[in-house]
Chains A and B, each alone.
Chain A
Amino acid sequence: MEKIKISKGFTPKLTGDPDLSMIHLPFPRTIGCSAGDIPFIRPKLLVKEGDTVKTGTPLFSDKRDLSIQYVSPATGRVKQILFGERRRLLEVIINPREKDEFIEFNPVSAKDLTDMPKGELIDRLKQGGLWQGLRQFPAKDTADPDHTPAMIIVSLNGNDIFSPHPAQVLKEKLEAFNAGIAMLRRFSHRVVVTARQSSMKGLAALHKGLEDQITHVAGDTYPAWHPGVVLFALKQTEAENTSWSISLDHLIMMGEFLITGRYPVKKMVTITRDGDHRPHILARRGAPIKTLAGTFTPGSLVTTGQFNGRIIDPRSHLGFFENTLNIIGPGPGEEMFGFVRPGVNKPTVSATFLSAVFKKPAPLDCTLHGELRACINCSYCERICPNDLMPSFIMKALHGDEVEEALSLGMLDCCQCGLCSYTCPSKIELAKILAQGIDSHYKDKA
């Protein structure tokens, strides 16, 4: 087991960490298949309102590759197809029946898994609506099945600091996990499995052999366990730039799907809020946000990752890629003489508030704590970037349309952890600017 240590990043003093107990969410009244969280997709609808669907029936596919399809996580009738601005598909909402009827596939035994032709395996995953769980660097688009990646990175911990504990997710799913790992070995010679240092104890307690499967232990400094950071830490050749990554949830899903031939319908979710310690929730995939999150103060934001998720409408449903909801409070509003207050309760990475002296966790709210200003070249973003980038210089290069320069500065190594925007005293949306730079470069190339 190797260690991955990053010298920069952010050691969180946040509150709201989930409890390690687990509850089941009651069967929800609606279930949705969201398109809002899927990067780059150009959806093509395959169903109409009123259609009856089984669990596993394709609801929409990706126009860029029609074999990539997103399937129904429940059995029932299509209640509504929701569109957003410019008729962008938001989600397909289903009125579910409690008893599932599955689209059935032939189960795959452990021996089949190593013997069946690779093409057949890929087709099976595509038909099951699961292939898109594999993502390809640098843009993190759906993995290209014709490409043989130099490595596949499995991160047992999720995108958020308080994503579900891997021991909770793996409970009773070890067989599926092993099948998933065996499957990954068909696609690449090198499978890297990483977990956070703080998760190791729970994982060791869950199963003895599990520790041997973990190839790399990442520190607890956010975001040391992100696939993008792991890749940057391990990278030695240019060929590894197009590695793949997969989340634990999707890996188990694929394993389970191959073993049983049915689309797995449950997922582990955490809900975080300042001061709360809510239990892990075992919920239906596509469960409504309202049921998951419960009630909260008006003006709060509900997001799927405090640092790198998206803002999610409380009336919508949890997406394919999401397993954490953060309820971020509205904060105290415009404080009088806010800029000269001692700030015992104002967390900061600098040392300009008294909170820097105390080690106790402090609440964060969903406001900027300031206004947009010009970049003053203070290097706070460089000081915190886990992948050794200089976000402000990349931002300036992109600003001047110098894409080549942005690339040579390592723009594509950006792991989208969001820390540069978090720390910027001028409140510049660095993470967003970099993400747009990566995306537009990727789209140009395609």
Chain B
Amino acid sequence: MKNPIKKLFDAYESLFTGDGKYQRYEPVWDATKTFFFLPSPKTRFMPFVRDHLDLKRYMSFVILALLPVTLFGIYNAGFQSGRAAGETYSLLKCFFVGSWYVLPMIIVSYGVGFIWEFIFAIFRRHKISEGFLVTGLLFPLTLPPTIPLWQVALGISFGVVIGKEVFGGTGRNILNPALTARAFVFFSYPVTMSGEIWIAGKDMVDGITGATALAVTGIEGQAIGSALTEAGYSLSSLFLGLVPGSVGETSALCCLVGAAILMVTRIANYRIILGGIAGLAITSLLIYLIPGGSDTWANAGPLYHLFAGGFLFGISFMATDPVSAPGTNPGRWIFGFLIGFLTVVIRVANPAFMEGVMLAILFMNVFAPLLDHLVIKYKTSKRIPNV
């Protein structure tokens, strides 16, 4: 018995391949077909046996690692909306309301992004890479649930076209496309990306502010720690994540679960994540030890810096994008460490940007090739020359 879906594909195959009527659209056909049926051509060159891991599986694991963050993000969007309306929604209602805000963002991001991918694949005549599966989900998770959908569409278009395709497509981009997209929206539409816009809901009751933890400062000499607790951002609530913020970033716990999945399966390089956390912890500790500024984030200490904002999300899912990170192991340690360092420095020293992770990662993306260059230069100097 032949698989009916396979039959369907076989029936229309000739239209899209060879001299078929729609052979221009072969990449689209191919992407659809290979989604259902894993292609497995015969090996032609040594080695004749190959590992089972391919890029589809690779990217699927990033999606898998993003699932806790995504589901929690949806729940939290609903929860915050309820809180703003002065009600406590049930679990189901939280998911329902959250889905109402978040799912359209994800659908628009995937839809518009894939259209760009298809256009470039058709004109460049190459197959569609699986990398966008991750980009398309990462981008909406970095946005506030209140963002207008047209900005999502515009952002992902910028990310895919300018962040990736102009460099030649997957594997050749300098910057992480999802972060490029976010940076575009961040700088183009500051109103929707900053201020008190982090809670999705129509009628807010008094006393609820939508400001994120990073916007909090102590008033009149109040220490940052107690100011944060007063505003509802205790360490435990930041860790669990039932606080306002971008869809995916709020729960440190879910980010850590995702990071663990990525590190255990060796999809992400643990050096970047651990290096980043070390960089953040050491830098924030050093700044903490400098006297003064007890009412600002300078005095927040490593744990607050770790759990507040999008650092864990960024270092786990954005910085570990192998294409825009360094390709050498020492380079990865330095890369991660400096992301942690820069994140704290931007948070503390520059009040214009409440969140430093995005800029820190993009900045280090630019320096990744330089790190690689230095590491390789050192490594080759240690080799016994063979020319």
Residues of A within 8 A of B (CB): 138, 235-238, 240-241, 301, 303, 305-311, 326, 328, 330-331, 333-340, 343, 346-353, 355, 364-380, 382, 390, 392-393, 407-410, 412-413, 416, 418-419, 421-427, 429, 431-432
Q: Which of B126-134, B215-223, B355-363 forms part of the interface with chain A?
A: B126-134
* B327→A390 contact, CB < 8 A: yes
Q: How far, in Å, is B147 (CB) from chain A's closest CB?
A: 29
Task: Select one of B39, B52, B387 contacting A334, CB under 8 A.
Answer: B39
* A328→B40 contact, CB < 8 A: no
In B77-132, the 8 Å CB interface with A consists of 127, 129-131
Q: How far, in Å, is A175 (CB) from chain B's closest CB?
A: 35
With A336-B3, A367-B42, A409-B376 as known contacts, state yes or no: A352 contacts B322, CB within 8 Å: no
Known: A309-B48, A379-B322. 4 other contacts (CB 8 A): A364-B50, A366-B42, A369-B50, A423-B51
B292 at interface by CB-CB < 8 Å: no
* B40→A367 contact, CB < 8 A: yes
**A308 surroundings in chain B (CB, below 8 A):** 46-47
**A380 surroundings in chain B (CB, below 8 A):** 53
Chain A, interface SS category: loop
* A373→B130 contact, CB < 8 A: yes
B126 to A, closest residue via Cβ? A374
**B380 surroundings in chain A (CB, below 8 A):** 408-410
Cα separation A351 to B52 with both chains bound (whole Å):
11
Cα separation A147 to B38 with both chains bound (whole Å):
52
B381 to A, closest residue via Cβ? A408
* B5→A307 contact, CB < 8 A: no
B41 at interface by CB-CB < 8 Å: yes
B384 at interface by CB-CB < 8 Å: yes
**A310 surroundings in chain B (CB, below 8 A):** 46
Chain B, interface SS category: loop
**B36 surroundings in chain A (CB, below 8 A):** 336-337
* A346→B52 contact, CB < 8 A: yes
**A309 surroundings in chain B (CB, below 8 A):** 46, 48
**B328 surroundings in chain A (CB, below 8 A):** 379, 382, 390
Q: Which of B46, B323, B376 has the most CB of A within 10 A?
A: B46
Cα separation A364 to B40 with both chains bound (whole Å):
13
Task: Select one of A376, A390, A392, A429 contacting B170, CB under 8 A.
Answer: A376
* A379→B38 contact, CB < 8 A: no
Q: How far, in Å, is B7 (CB) from chain A's closest CB?
A: 12
* A379→B327 contact, CB < 8 A: yes
* A412→B386 contact, CB < 8 A: yes
Cα separation A375 to B169 with both chains bound (whole Å):
11
Q: How far, in Å, is B62 (CB) from chain A's closest CB?
A: 11
The 8 lowest CB-CB distance pairs between A and B, nearest first, are: A370-B54, A338-B38, A374-B171, A418-B47, A339-B56, A346-B52, A364-B49, A307-B47
Q: Which of B200-208, B264-272, B278-286, B310-318 forms part of the interface with chain A?
A: B264-272
